[in-house]
């Protein structure tokens, strides 16, 4: 039996979500998801159940807190990596602007691209252009098992 590394499994699962419509707070393949819902769906396929309840959240939740809920949750369940070690299958967390909690998520793909969902679009593959790269707040690797 061949064991496929977790980062390759993450990327393969993320690719199945391409084209899933954007739906705030949702996490259903080909039905709808937001950026967190995409990561939740990948996690469920990898490990069976989500590690904690995401609860409900408003579109402007990051503007209402000084905490870092996404980064804190990722630290509890994943492995923090230096940006320089980022590879396909890693979780990318983005901060839109200084002084506000990081609030966007994506999965690094090959060829300097990443998979993510954002309002007004379906789950899509985007280039990691300088405007995206400068907003990366943290990078995490999925665990081999949970």
Which DSSP string corresponds to the chain? -PPPPHHHHHHHHHHHTTTPPB-TT-EETTTEE-HHHHHHHHHHHHHSS-SS------TTGGGG-SS-HHHHHHHHHSEEE-GGG--TT-EEEE-SSTTS---EEEEE-STTEEEE--TTS-SEEEE--HHHHTTEEEEEEPPS--
What does the pLDDT read at residue 63?
A: 60
Confidence (pLDDT) at 132: 97
* The pLDDT of residue 71: 95
pLDDT at 26: 96
Q: What is the pTM of this model?
A: 0.93
Mean pLDDT over all residues of the chain? Answer: 93
Domain extent listing, the chain: 6-141
Q: What's residue 145's pLDDT?
A: 87
Strand-pair category, 32-33 with 124-127: unpaired
pLDDT, position 61: 56
Low-confidence ranges of the chain (pLDDT < 50): none
- CA separation for the pair 121, 104 (Å, rounded): 14
For the domain bounded by 6-141, which CATH number is listed?
Answer: 3.90.1720.10
């Amino acid at each position: 039996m061949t064991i496929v590394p977790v980062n390759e499994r993450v990327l393969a699962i993320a690719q199945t979500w391409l084209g899933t419509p954007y739906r705030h707070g949702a996490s259903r393949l080909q039905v709808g998801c937001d950026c967190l819902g995409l990561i939740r769906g990948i996690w469920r396929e990898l490990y069976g159940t989500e590690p904690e309840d995401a609860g409900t959240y408003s579109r402007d939740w990051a503007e209402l807190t000084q905490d870092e809920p996404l980064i804190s949750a990722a630290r509890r369940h994943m492995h923090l990596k230096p940006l320089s070690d980022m590879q396909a299958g890693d979780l990318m967390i983005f901060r839109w602007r200084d002084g506000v909690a990081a609030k966007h998520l994506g999965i690094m793909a090959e060829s300097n691209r990443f998979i993510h969902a954002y309002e007004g679009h379906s789950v899509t593959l985007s280039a990691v252009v300088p405007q995206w790269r400068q907003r990366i707040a943290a990078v995490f690797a999925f665990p081999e098992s949970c």
